[in-house]
Structure 1
């Protein structure tokens, strides 16, 4: 099969790496790809959000299957366009991707179908939003309704901080049109766990649980990022909690989307808070998480191409999806200053030595003219190791980070430990 993966980050590198292991995949392409993906797939210089160009290229080059990884092209209807062109595609159609593209939609869905989540209100009027913040007090959570690269959520410790978040989204348009509507919710308390699940519109198979570290600095300090590291499985996600989530959250969500005429095929990302009242949904995403995908793909023991086809064909209930024993940990090596201001274009050394100790997934890299790997983003690499238990996986991942170096390299030293 000729397969195209859409995207160009660490998540897409992990997906390409896993697909390259499938005997079914004879030719693998990635658009736009990056410096590391180029080692396992042929990179195609098309922007992930260019729906028209992507579909035209897939048709022209007779792709048998396309996997759309990032949120933006899914929300823009890339899967719909590929299907209309007669090309099977993995990922939700636009009317189902709205579960991530609009937080207001997802909150209304949870309210209507009694799926446990935080108490909330939605606002399109800034004065109303500010009045609600003052009436509720802090801590309180302010969310931009639309897509904001994982940065459109502010957990405000004070009323002033919440007011500032509302103004920056609604008045200063920090996230463009994504912040013209805001969702304001109660601040839930408890450990956060992520569960990604494969869906075929009717059936759902959860992957291993995982935990992501969003804050830029050690001790969960600093600004929110797209993720500074992740590990799986989470020790906090017990079999009892898994059973409750399946019954109260996962299956009801798939059934709700089907009932709304928006059957979900692809990966649903359940961001969960394990509160004293039981598990509740923090957020939904309509795709694989980044960097959770890196450790998850390292643990997957089933042909990923088979799973993708089952999701598209509606035969997921016939799949036996297996996982390796043990645990996996991913450490993100970022550019200094990320997620605010940072420089790119620096050469990266030590990749070969690190690759002997762990799998190094490339997130923000490009190849220089002489073949040197250069930094090309905020999150640069995801160093991912598998161990017999979480402690061993963490130790191996950090050991593999040691040989790697580039100017202003920054990473957290407490992934999996907090």
Structure 2
């Protein structure tokens, strides 16, 4: 079969790499892709936000499956256009992608489905925001209602900072603060069935010890040795399946990847947010450990036949991804800085350098082209072993202004 992956980031590199290693996949194409993806797929210039352009490319290439990676094309309806062209697509419809496209919509779905989550208020004016902040008290949690590339959330004890963030957004969801560690749990969905993957943990803030502003994610690891043994079963029963059932009841079945961001609070599991696609950087370590070909899973989601797919299996050990970001991130990013050292890791079987914000300059050199530049991903016999290998990989790579956290997976054992 032929597969086409839409997107430019580390998630798309991980998906393309997994598909390139799938014995059922003869050709992998990507659009627009990046220099790392170019090593495992044929790249094509296309506007990923244009459903018509993506569908046209898929027809031209004769692909059997289109995988839409990022959230913005999904919210824009790219998956709808691909399906309308008669091509199998992994990714939810425009309506179903509102689970990520609108925090208020997601809260409404959770309420209807009885999914445990934080109490929240949708605010459209400064007065409404001020009243909500006072009602919930600090720490204040203020979320941009729309897409914000993972950086639309402010958690602060400073009321003025919370008000300023609310004022900078069109609409915000202000909610109660949830204590406890956060966990990411992904589920493959075909509109009826939800099949969970194993839990992972993402590190959102830019600096060590979870300090500084939120980013799109500075690293992740899986599995979580400290997580409750029944966590996956509980979340599938109380969060994932009820959400899939509610979306089907509304006539907008969810087909694709449902990402539940969870807080393990003192009062039990609560949903922090939903995403409508594979998370980045959790996808990198998860796919490194998935012990099954990827294409049958994605095709089953598109075809509504997940119930017929064997249970997911995972390789023993652990995987850790450490993100290397450019100078100025997350407030800004630096482009054109020459990256050296990635080629030295090509011979390491336990380490993959997954590209996110990279490009080639006029001389063919690998350079930075965005905020999050690379995700150095390693597998090992334990979290500690994988972590050590990932940071050895990071030490082999350099570019001006490079920044990374030094505590990714430090608590994993």
Structure 1 length normalisation: TM-score?
Answer: 0.95
Tell me, what secondary structure is at the counterpart of 1:134? helix
Tell me, what secondary structure is at the counterpart of 1:256? helix
Aligned to 2:325: 334
Aligned to 2:254: 264
1:147-166 aligned at under 5 Å gives the runs 147-166=147-166
Tell me, what secondary structure is at the counterpart of 2:92? coil
Tell me, what secondary structure is at the counterpart of 2:259? strand
Query: Is this contact kept in 2: 1:130–1:166, CA < 8 A?
Result: no
**1:6: how far off?**
0.3
- The question of 1:219 aligning with 2:209 is answered yes
Say which of 363, 372, 382 aligns to 1:379: 372
Distance across 2 between alignment mates of 1:136 and 1:202: 36
**1:134: how far off?**
2.7
User: Which region of structure 1 is more displaced relative to structure 2, 396-405 or 154-163?
Assistant: 154-163
Aligned to 2:275: 285
**1:394: how far off?**
0.2
**1:158: how far off?**
2.7
**1:162: how far off?**
1.6
Query: Is this contact kept in 1: 2:136–2:175, CA < 8 A?
Result: no
- The question of 1:250 aligning with 2:240 is answered yes
Aligned to 1:177: none
Distance across 2 between alignment mates of 1:400 and 1:413: 13
- The question of 1:181 aligning with 2:181 is answered no
Query: Is this contact kept in 1: 2:198–2:232, CA < 8 A?
Result: no
User: Which region of structure 1 is more displaced relative to structure 2, 358-367 or 235-244?
Assistant: 235-244
Say which of 337, 343, 351 aligns to 1:346: 337
Say which of 276, 279, 299 aligns to 2:266: 276
Query: Is this contact kept in 2: 1:116–1:249, CA < 8 A?
Result: yes
Which runs of 5 or more residues in structure 1 are unaligned? 170-179
Aligned to 2:15: 15
Change (3 A) 1:293 1:278: same
Tell me, what secondary structure is at the counterpart of 2:260? strand
Distance across 1 between alignment mates of 2:181 and 2:49: 34
Aligned to 2:146: 146
Tell me, what secondary structure is at the counterpart of 2:288? helix
**1:141: how far off?**
0.7
Tell me, what secondary structure is at the counterpart of 2:6? strand
Aligned to 1:113: 113
Which runs of 5 or more residues in structure 2 are unaligned? none
Aligned to 2:409: 416
Tell me, what secondary structure is at the counterpart of 2:187? strand
User: Which region of structure 1 is more displaced relative to structure 2, 230-239 or 269-278?
Assistant: 230-239
**1:40: how far off?**
0.4
Over the aligned positions, Cα root-mean-square deviation in angstroms equals 1.2
Query: Is this contact kept in 2: 1:137–1:158, CA < 8 A?
Result: no
**1:341: how far off?**
2.4
- The question of 1:366 aligning with 2:356 is answered no
Distance across 2 between alignment mates of 1:371 and 1:22: 29
Deviations for 1:331-388, whole angstroms, at most 9, x for unmatched residues?
1011121111232112211112123331100011112334321111111110000011
Structure 2 length normalisation: TM-score?
Answer: 0.96
**1:233: how far off?**
1.1
Distance across 2 between alignment mates of 1:382 and 1:403: 13
**1:408: how far off?**
1.0
